[in-house]
Structure 1
Amino acid sequence: MTGGDSLQVLTFGCRLNAYESAAMRDLAEQAGQRTAILVNTCAVTAEAEQQARKAIRRAARENPGRPILVTGCAAQISPDSWASLPGVTRVIGNADKLKPEAWAPDAPLAPVTDIMAATETAAHLVTDFAGRARAFVQVQQGCDHRCTFCVIPYGRGPSRSVPIGAVVQQVRALVEAGYREVVLTGVDITSYGPDLPGQPSLGQMVRRLLALVPELPRLRLSSIDPAAIDDGLWRLLETEPRLMPHLHLSLQHGADLMLKRMKRRHGRAEALACARRARALRPGIALGADLIAGFPTETEAHFSDMLDLVEEAELSFLHVFPYSERPGTPAARMPQLPVPLRRERAARLRAAGAAAAQRFYDARLGQEETVLLERGHRGHTEHFCPVRLSPSFDYEVGALARLRVTAAGPDGLTVEAP
């Protein structure tokens, strides 16, 4: 990354960060930050923090004199350490980053505020996601749970929900802008609603959203907690074809003792029951999961339980993380496994995930799929299978097309016109 006279945004971490980066780009450009470099950090793992620090040092080296503005969870948790990096002119806390006044070039330097005191989530309308074919809408922020491995509640604050009216307004605007698929995102979206009038559940919000925006073709959910899926959401999964047949579950492990030490709200039996219910209500559904390898005190037997869970729950798409100590968390004080062992187990778990994904891809051979067409002659099916298009295929980015699967490989599906 060198030179340039336009705002640059570097994003690390989750889908919520992707949404917030788009929102902050709008705010910074409107405030006149034409030459700034905006870095949106992540604190989920030490590696994510290291990547962001490396990117900042590189940006400062290659772009002397350009202001570097840093925000995100890692910057919220340790603002002084990020402010001391070369080229950083301002650190903006998570409580302020979606406020227009925070991005004014002449705004006075202010301390990062206490995120735990936040009581609401600022809704910001984003209709341009930098060439993406799908759009993200933030419906919830923060987390009230305290998993022993996780530092995110200290970066995001308590759980807060976006009012249904604001969600509907954003989705309607996105559909009018040409988006055919919207992803509802947040830190813990199954915690949606208790802080709003009437205390609507996530399922109730999704039902109203789909009813009020009938022109939206595809709605997808980001990661959900299997311990908190409400009955309304289960009913929609069974009856609403516009809710995509794809759930990504925040499981984290497959052994009961590890789940207890992680302070998760579900056990192995509950995870399997969730998967069975999803398949009974929506035959053929694709299930994914977040899983952590090498958690403190994990034995080979515990790890085998997690490998077995991939098979038993028929998990097709895995996000695998080797355990990473986060300062100040209870898990960081537990007996740690050697880092090479964590990485070795993560590699084995990824291999199991790749085999499971290949089985799911192979089952699609010869079938017709509705594909959201994306840049670079790529796309995704309703089940979120990645798709490759022929270089000669003529298409419109963001369109939906009915295509036939002709091949299945480790990177996804190959399709052609039926």
Structure 2
Amino acid sequence: MKFNVLTYGCQMNVHDSDWLIRAMESRGWKAVEESEANIFILNTCSVRDKPEQKVYNVLRRLGYLCTSPGDFVAVGGCVAQQIGEGFLERFPYVRLVFGSDGIVQAPQYLEELAVDHEKRLVLNDFLAQYPEREGGLANPNEELLPPGIGTIPGQAFVNIMQGCDNFCAYCIVPYTRGRQKSRLSSAIIDECRALVKSGVREITLLGQNVNSFGMDKNGSDLSFAQLLYKIAEIEGLERVRFTTSHPKDIAPEVIKAFGELPNLCPHLHLPVQSGSDNILKKMGRKYDRARYLGIVEGLKEVCPEIALTTDIIVGFPGETDEDFEQTMDIMERVRFESSFSFKYSDRPGVAALKMMPKVPEDVAQKRLTRLQERQKHITRECLEELDGNDMIVLLERNSKWQEDGGVAWRGKDPGGRVVNIFIEGIEGHLPLGGKLVKAKIIEAKNHSLVGVKVGDLW
């Protein structure tokens, strides 16, 4: 069977899609471009309104491509969890709907639906425990599935948990991904070991709130900090990252790890959402600006070179000009290297839906524009401070920026910054993805760095 996967939303969705591609290829299916496929799988996001509307538009378009009896669409992810049977009622060519826990069963039922053209299914039940996946490498002797489309050479993502127990007032995640379920630490460590054995050099641990790993009903034998130290010990693992972190749960031991673990990358995505105590309380974030700034101070004390990034919501119900100025102030104090910033939008079922007063659209847009403009300047200033520094860069792929006499490669430094490196005497077709190289930074761009190779590839 020929299939195509379209992915929207967060890195966890990207990871889920990569796993699904590998799982179906291991069953003999072939991942192809959209124009060649007869089975289409959408992995969806409903964190904000726009991605959800995009799903409906894509489904209408795919309807024109489902021309044979065996052609069909499967919808997975957060919108699938939210809408459920509504997709089957609205789109006759949608024959499988699966939520975040249902993805484990999706490969089996995709095969069944490819044979039985009348069957239609919804897999939206939440499971009590983390559902281990086929090819999850819980067994250290299990062979790795074939690399998935979109996989970056030398890098891998490993789920350590699923769902969320925080119920922030604006967030739909607990309703679409369910309550928090920590994965068995032994399964996580075995998967990481197998990945490193296969040639992976950088692992990113994924979860809605990795800092609360092990704190859920079923718990774990290890805390998140203990898990970090265990994984960092794996021989041959050059880099460890994790995302996303909730400030309320970050333990002193995790902060300490940034100063003690040489392969824990000096980068942390730490969503602040707002700089106003008033708004943080309304959001249900369970920390205040003093607590957040204290975490930042602790991180910079043990790891002065750490790069901090964040998420910010502007225009949350009841946000005043003073509240917004507090957010601008915390940006100046922390100097985030980058931020994902959005206007608040109502999501069905969340507490903020009924909160008043709503911030007028034009006011929210002006605030967002001002914040994003300031962020651009801070980002550029942070990058300019690195001019002349030596960095170890993990190469990913050919850069869009090229010059005569060699090939430019795109990679990332330990802080997660994009670095474009011109490498003389290297032909473009050579497989350098996954290689490490020492580079000297010679120029800062608006959102990336330019470097030159000053050491051998390894």
- Structure-2-length-normalised TM-score: 0.85
Please say if residues 104 and 132 of structure 2, whose CA atoms lie closer than 8 Å, have aligned partners that are also in contact: yes
Residue 373 (1) aligns with residue 395 (2): yes
Moved more, 197-206 or 34-43: 197-206
The residue correspondences of 1:52-67 to structure 2 (distance < 5 A) are 52-65=55-68, 66-67=71-72
Measure, in 2, the Cα distance between the counterparts of 1:31 and 1:214. Answer: 32
Secondary structure of residue in 1 paired with 2:398: coil
Secondary structure of residue in 1 paired with 2:301: helix
Partner of 1:300: 321
User: Which deviations, in whole Å up to 9, do the C-alpha atoms of 1:277-318 show, x marking residues without a partner?
Assistant: 100010111001111111111111111111111111221110
Measure, in 1, the Cα distance between the counterparts of 2:200 and 2:425. Answer: 21
Moved more, 191-200 or 178-187: 191-200
Residue 386 (1) aligns with residue 418 (2): yes
Secondary structure of residue in 1 paired with 2:43: strand
Please say if residues 33 and 105 of structure 1, whose CA atoms lie closer than 8 Å, have aligned partners that are also in contact: no
The residue correspondences of 1:87-236 to structure 2 (distance < 5 A) are 87-99=93-105, 100-106=107-113, 108-115=119-126, 117-123=127-133, 124-125=136-137, 128-130=147-149, 131-133=151-153, 134-194=155-215, 195=217, 199-211=221-233, 213-236=234-257
Letter in 1 for 2:41: L
Please say if residues 32 and 104 of structure 1, whose CA atoms lie closer than 8 Å, have aligned partners that are also in contact: no
Partner of 1:51: 54
1:413 to 449, 453, 456: 449
Residue 71 (1) aligns with residue 84 (2): no
Measure, in 2, the Cα distance between the counterparts of 1:202 and 1:382. Answer: 21
Measure, in 1, the Cα distance between the counterparts of 2:365 and 2:83. Answer: 27
Moved more, 255-264 or 129-138: 129-138
Partner of 1:357: 379
Partner of 2:407: none
User: Which deviations, in whole Å up to 9, do the C-alpha atoms of 1:61-86 show, x marking residues without a partner?
Assistant: 24534321111011101113333236
- Residue 275 (structure 1) shift: 0.7
Please say if residues 22 and 148 of structure 2, whose CA atoms lie closer than 8 Å, have aligned partners that are also in contact: no
- Residue 54 (structure 1) shift: 2.0
User: Which deviations, in whole Å up to 9, do the C-alpha atoms of 1:207-229 show, x marking residues without a partner?
Assistant: 11122x12100001112011111
**CA 1:118/1:392 → structure 2, altered by over 3 Å: closer, same or farther?**
farther
- Residue 87 (structure 1) shift: 3.2
**CA 1:214/1:263 → structure 2, altered by over 3 Å: closer, same or farther?**
same
1:8 to 4, 7, 24: 4
Secondary structure of residue in 1 paired with 2:50: helix
Moved more, 242-251 or 74-83: 74-83
- Residue 198 (structure 1) shift: 5.4
Measure, in 2, the Cα distance between the counterparts of 1:414 and 1:111. Answer: 48
CA RMSD of aligned residues (A): 2.0
- Residue 151 (structure 1) shift: 0.7
Measure, in 1, the Cα distance between the counterparts of 2:257 and 2:79. Answer: 36
Measure, in 2, the Cα distance between the counterparts of 1:299 and 1:259. Answer: 13
Please say if residues 64 and 87 of structure 1, whose CA atoms lie closer than 8 Å, have aligned partners that are also in contact: no
User: Which deviations, in whole Å up to 9, do the C-alpha atoms of 1:164-214 show, x marking residues without a partner?
Assistant: 111112212222232211111111111101345654211111111122x12
Please say if residues 423 and 453 of structure 2, whose CA atoms lie closer than 8 Å, have aligned partners that are also in contact: no
User: Which deviations, in whole Å up to 9, do the C-alpha atoms of 1:60-116 show, x marking residues without a partner?
Assistant: 32453432111101110111333323632221232221234333233753333332x
- Residue 10 (structure 1) shift: 0.7
Measure, in 2, the Cα distance between the counterparts of 1:157 and 1:349. Answer: 32
Moved more, 286-295 or 227-236: 227-236
Measure, in 2, the Cα distance between the counterparts of 1:196 and 1:63. Answer: 43
The residue correspondences of 1:251-262 to structure 2 (distance < 5 A) are 251-262=272-283
Question: Quick check: which has more Rg, 1 or 2?
Answer: 2
Letter in 1 for 2:308: L
Q: How many residues align?
A: 412
**CA 1:55/1:283 → structure 2, altered by over 3 Å: closer, same or farther?**
same
Gaps of 5+ in 1: none
**CA 1:227/1:177 → structure 2, altered by over 3 Å: closer, same or farther?**
same
**CA 1:241/1:391 → structure 2, altered by over 3 Å: closer, same or farther?**
closer
Moved more, 55-64 or 178-187: 55-64
2:43 to 37, 40, 43: 40
After TM superposition, the runs of 4+ consecutive aligned structure 1 residues lying more than 6 A away are: none
**CA 1:101/1:241 → structure 2, altered by over 3 Å: closer, same or farther?**
same
Secondary structure of residue in 1 paired with 2:226: helix
- Structure-1-length-normalised TM-score: 0.93
Secondary structure of residue in 1 paired with 2:451: strand
User: Which deviations, in whole Å up to 9, do the C-alpha atoms of 1:337-372 show, x marking residues without a partner?
Assistant: 222332332222222222121111011100110111
**CA 1:203/1:174 → structure 2, altered by over 3 Å: closer, same or farther?**
same
Please say if residues 422 and 453 of structure 2, whose CA atoms lie closer than 8 Å, have aligned partners that are also in contact: no
Measure, in 1, the Cα distance between the counterparts of 2:100 and 2:277. Answer: 34
